[in-house]
């Protein structure tokens, strides 16, 4: 049996139905469905998406038998309409429209009034008695055919139209006379011939074939391709083509055209919403050529038609169980429905509509949850720019942290803090941020960097703070000396206003007005439903009591990552940290020297003993001052860290708190720029050279692979001992006050079983000492971040000692790909464009490579310790696609920045609805 390529609809019956969107496209499937429901639809036929697929696969050649099928269905349409395409005495006019399975409004092409020829014009004038209407339809047809089918620039036609309106001193097309329209048609034909070097076709069959070709070609026009990329529309065969008999809204004051929504798509209010135009065709409403009237006014103009329209919109919403976006035409008081589809809506409206429809029993809770795009919840949680505001975009970077921010430009953290103290709004502009910028980032409205990717320091910290951030904006040339940045010939100075959009990456000159977010009661209801369904727990990445409090308000069920190093940059803290860092290497080196001398002394003969003893005494003397400074710094930091942990434990009362011990290399805590080094030398009462020597000594060629994480804990055990002491003391103190503490101590950058074993023993030793001293018993766990490929591969050995795993996928991605996450902006966009990578692997987890390591780590870990708790705490933990993967492979929880907690809760619920958990990893 040969394949069926064309499906007919009309006269109350259709070959297709709504469930056939993949084959008929959304428009064709819904035209068939409306026809079957008895709703008045102009009859026609749909050429399937399989034809589009074959067209592109076969060098733009159509499949065999298509022409015959089109001819058969055209004959059927002509018989039904009592008119014939190209008949000089009774011409049939049709529209040719696109329609893919996924809604892509305005992205592909349509042609109206097809079939008009000089002969048809004369016949229609006699039949309708409305000469002006026919000439108006003809000039529209030439414009659309020339533009869509033959590539003639639309403005060529519009300039002629504007010339006639100006000459006639009228504003609207509807005010042009019949004679003027006749002259316009002649000029349009001349333009067509000049641009295409051929006469406008007078054979409707040729018009039809060319229009069908053009619609299929529009599937791959630049705007349609871009739209599919932006909205991640994949897996479609192509567009369908809908050939439909014409109805006319431009036949006079008893005709009209309009677009309506069954509910308000901006607010979600259950109120009929839309616009219409008297004496117009559909393109007039969309193009904005005339100002439409609100749909409610149609009741005054045509009360019977309005009543029928309300009836049909109610029927369609109940049938499709979703908000419908409807196109209609009224031809001489007769209503026709031209299209219905699920309506696009704002996130605020989507939440309200979903909750309302459950209350109205149109849909169930599961359907409501599945209808909300988790990523779009960002619009409800962060400020956005007023869509009506004027914007002068000067550059575009990476949308690293959502939100909208306006403020004065500053180029260092110190200036940011000074201006913020005066209640000024500031945007911190840096080439790249480092941990020492954290104070400035905290007080800024937004952060803009010229380097770094979506998981750079700036991006990660900004997301955690809920701050707007645009990263990797390479078009900006920042000059710290002159306190300016240049872009596209413009110079922006310190103190000038700029605006940045962390959701789009746009950088704008001047102040752009923003709209503050508002959370509705419907949002809370939707989140409750999501929590009922999801299996994954959702924790947060939080380093301060304020972050923890906000995350808990947004539904976090614990802290999955508390980064202790971020606590070191608070007021009066950094000096103690720097004192510790300056003295630590000397202490380490002198201890090593003393150990070496003691070994030498043990082996020495009597005649050398005295000299070696003197050398040993001298080394111990040299150790005294650095050791004093080192111990002093640690003693200063201990109560600060303890107080931080007490506040976080209190805020998260009863919920788990995972605290990662110091992770970054020590050089990150020292200033890299000379003016900051001078300030540090002054505060520490040492010379600039001494500071610079220490910075140089701690410098590593590749610090991300260097002396960091657990390696610091092994080589500088006193630092980790101090942190563990602070954690356990804090837990004991708040427990005495009635707070329920669930603490988890996490060791970072583990690559060997021995590293973990040594450090775990040290954690237990310190914890035991503190609990004995305090007279309080604390339940705590010791686990690790799996962020190195080797750790994932030997997870069965590490799990002998570790009570939980948390996958640090930022570093794991970095180590697996060999990409620096701060430098990927220079080449990953091109990799994506060329199809080497589908997505930035720092935004969406690479399931094929990195994901395989994660799955191996879980399976091997649980082979040793079946009850092993497993989570993810990299930035991927807030990405819906990654969350679905985490659900599938049997993780216990995901952890993300506070403002992504609702997104993760909804995404986890959707994952539960879409797929079962892998039994192999549970």
The residues assigned a catalytic role are: 457, 873
H or E stretch covering 78:
helix 66-81
Task: Give the SS3 label for residue 883.
Answer: helix
H or E stretch covering 299:
helix 298-301
Sheet containing 256-261: order of strands: 293-294, 273-278, 256-261, 324-331, 334-342
CA-based Rg of the chain, rounded to a whole angstrom? 35
Query: CA 360 to CA 142: how far, in whole Å?
Result: 48
Query: CA 647 to CA 422: how far, in whole Å?
Result: 28
Query: CA 179 to CA 196: how far, in whole Å?
Result: 26
Sheet containing 446-449: order of strands: 393-396, 506-509, 497-501, 404-410, 426-430, 446-449, 468-471, 398-401
Query: CA 838 to CA 351: how far, in whole Å?
Result: 30
In degrees and rounded to multiples of 5, residue 49 shows phi and psi of -65, -25
What are the angstrom distances between the C-alpha of 622 and each of 171, 618, 626, 690?
A: 92, 6, 8, 17
* Residue recorded with tokens 């429809």: 357
Instruction: Note whether 374 and 432 are within 8 A (CB).
Output: no
Q: How far is CA 383 from the centre of its chain?
A: 15
3-state helix, strand, coil in the chain (%, to 5): 50, 15, 30
H or E stretch covering 894:
strand 893-896
Task: Please compute, for residue 323, the number of CA atoms within 13 A of its CA located in the half-sphere on the CB side.
Answer: 30
In 445-525, DSSP assigns E strands to 446-449, 468-471, 477-479, 484-487, 490-493, 497-501, 506-509, 514-515
H or E stretch covering 888:
helix 880-888
Instruction: Please provide the distance, in angstroms rounded to a whole number, between the alpha carbons at the two ends of the chain.
Output: 48
Instruction: Tell which residue, 181, 150, 31, has the closest CA to residue 97.
Output: 31
Strand partners, 477: 486
Q: Where are the alpha helices (DSSP H) in 542-673?
A: 545-553, 574-603, 606-651
H or E stretch covering 782:
strand 780-786
Query: CA 784 to CA 754: how far, in whole Å?
Result: 13
Query: CA 366 to CA 344: how far, in whole Å?
Result: 20
Token code pair at residue 728: 């356990």
Query: CA 228 to CA 441: how far, in whole Å?
Result: 35
Instruction: Note whether 719 and 634 are within 8 A (CB).
Output: yes
What is the tally of helices (H) and strands (E) in the chain? 34, 32
b/e 150-185 (16+ beta carbons within 10 angstroms → b): eebeeebbeebbeebbeeeeeeebbebeeebbeebb
Token code pair at residue 886: 């985490």
What are the angstrom distances between the C-alpha of 697 and each of 401, 623, 629, 692, 715?
A: 34, 19, 19, 8, 16
Instruction: Tell which residue, 469, 475, 464, has the closest CA to residue 504.
Output: 469
Q: Is the dihedral of CA 886, 888, 889, 892 positive or negative?
A: positive
């Amino acid at each position: 049996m040969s394949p069926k390529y064309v499906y007919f609809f009309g006269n109350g019956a259709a070959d297709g139905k709504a469930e056939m969107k993949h084959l008929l496209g959304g428009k064709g499937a819904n035209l068939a469905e409306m026809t079957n429901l008895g709703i008045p639809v102009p009859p026609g036929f749909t050429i399937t998406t399989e034809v589009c697929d074959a067209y592109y696969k076969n060098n733009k050649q159509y499949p065999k038998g298509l022409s015959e099928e089109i001819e058969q269905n055209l004959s059927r349409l002509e018989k039904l309409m009592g008119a014939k395409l190209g008949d000089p005495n009774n011409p049939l006019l049709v529209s040719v429209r696109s329609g893919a399975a996924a809604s892509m409004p305005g992205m592909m092409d349509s042609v109206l009034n097809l079939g008009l020829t000089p002969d048809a014009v004369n016949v229609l004038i006699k039949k309708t008695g409305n000469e002006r209407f026919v000439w108006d339809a003809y000039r529209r047809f030439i414009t659309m055919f020339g533009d869509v089918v033959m590539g003639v620039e639309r403005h060529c036609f519009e300039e002629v139209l504007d010339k006639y309106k100006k000459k006639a001193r009228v504003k609207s097309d509807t005010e042009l006379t019949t004679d003027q329209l006749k002259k316009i048609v002649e000029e349009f034909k001349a333009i067509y011939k000049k641009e295409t070097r051929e006469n406008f076709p007078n054979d409707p069959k040729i018009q039809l074939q060319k229009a069908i070709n053009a619609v299929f070609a529009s599937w791959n026009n630049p705007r349609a391709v871009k739209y599919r990329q932006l909205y991640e529309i994949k897996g479609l065969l192509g567009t369908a083509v809908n050939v439909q008999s014409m109805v006319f809204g431009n036949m006079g004051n008893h005709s009209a055209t309009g677009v309506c929504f069954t509910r308000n798509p901006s607010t979600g209010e259950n109120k009929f919403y839309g616009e219409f135009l008297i004496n117009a065709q559909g393109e007039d409403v969309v193009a904005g050529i005339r100002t439409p009237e609100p749909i409610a006014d149609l009741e005054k103009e045509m009360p019977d038609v309005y009543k029928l329209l309300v009836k049909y919109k109610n029927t369609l919403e109940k049938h499709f169980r979703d908000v419908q976006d409807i196109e209609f035409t009224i031809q001489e008081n007769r209503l026709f429905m031209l299209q219905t589809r699920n309506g696009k809506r704002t996130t605020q409206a989507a939440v309200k509509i979903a909750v309302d429809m459950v209350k109205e029993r149109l849909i169930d809770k599961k359907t409501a949850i599945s209808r909300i795009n988790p990523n779009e919840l960002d619009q409800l949680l962060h400020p956005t720019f007023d869509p009506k505001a004027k914007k002068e975009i000067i550059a575009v970077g990476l949308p690293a942290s959502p939100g909208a921010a306006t403020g004065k430009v500053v180029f260092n953290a110190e200036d940011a803090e000074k201006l913020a103290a005066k209640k000024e709004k500031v945007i911190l502009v840096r080439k790249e941020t480092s941990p020492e910028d954290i104070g400035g980032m905290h007080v800024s409205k937004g952060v803009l960097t010229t380097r770094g990717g979506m998981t750079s320091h700036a991006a990660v910290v900004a997301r955690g703070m809920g701050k707007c951030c645009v990263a990797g904006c390479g078009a900006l040339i920042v000059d710290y000396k002159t306190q300016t940045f240049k872009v596209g010939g413009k110079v922006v100075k310190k103190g000038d206003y700029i605006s940045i959009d962390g959701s789009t990456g746009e950088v704008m000159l001047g102040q752009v007005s923003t709209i503050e977010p508002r959370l509705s009661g419907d949002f809370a209801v939707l989140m409750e439903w999501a929590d009922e369904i999801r299996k994954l727990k959702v924790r947060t990445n939080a380093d301060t009591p304020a972050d923890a409090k906000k995350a808990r308000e947004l539904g976090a069920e614990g802290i999955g990552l508390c980064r202790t190093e971020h606590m070191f940059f608070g007021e009066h803290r950094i000096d103690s940290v720097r004192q510790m860092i300056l003295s630590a290497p000397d202490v380490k080196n002198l201890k090593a020297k003393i150990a070496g001398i003691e070994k030498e002394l043990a082996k020495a003969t009597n005649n050398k003993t005295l000299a070696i003893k003197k050398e040993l005494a001298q080394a111990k003397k040299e150790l005294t001052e650095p050791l004093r400074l080192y111990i002093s710094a640690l003693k200063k930091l201990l109560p600060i860290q303890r107080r931080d942990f007490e506040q976080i434990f209190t805020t998260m009362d009863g919920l788990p708190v995972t605290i990662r011990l110091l992770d970054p290399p020590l050089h990150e805590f020292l200033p890299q720029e000379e003016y900051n080094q001078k300030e540090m030398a002054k505060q520490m009462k040492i010379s600039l050279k001494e500071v610079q020597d220490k910075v140089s000594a701690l410098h590593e060629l590749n610090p991300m692979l260097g002396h960091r994480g657990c390696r610091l804990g092994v080589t500088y055990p006193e630092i980790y001992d101090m942190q563990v002491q602070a954690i356990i003391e804090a837990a004991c103190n708040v427990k005495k006050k009635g707070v329920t503490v669930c603490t988890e101590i996490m060791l970072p950058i583990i690559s060997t079983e021995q590293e973990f074993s040594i450090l775990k023993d040290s954690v237990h030793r310190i914890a035991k000492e503190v609990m004995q001293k305090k007279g309080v018993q604390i339940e705590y766990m010791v686990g690790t971040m799996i962020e190195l490929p080797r750790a994932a591969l030997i997870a069965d050995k590490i799990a002998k000692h570790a009570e939980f795993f948390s996958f640090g996928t930022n570093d794991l991605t970095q180590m697996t790909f060999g990409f620096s996450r701060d430098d990927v902006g220079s080449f990953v966009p091109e990799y994506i464009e060329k199809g080497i990578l589908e997505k930035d692997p720092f935004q969406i987890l690479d399931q094929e490579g990195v994901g395989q390591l994660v799955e191996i780590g879980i399976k091997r870990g649980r082979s040793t310790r079946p009850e092993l708790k497993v989570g993810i705490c990299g930035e991927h933990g807030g990405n819906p696609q990654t969350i679905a993967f985490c659900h599938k492979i049997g993780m216990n929880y995901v952890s993300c920045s506070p403002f992504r907690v609702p997104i993760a809760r909804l995404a986890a619920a959707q994952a539960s609805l879409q797929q079962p958990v892998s039994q192999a990893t549970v």
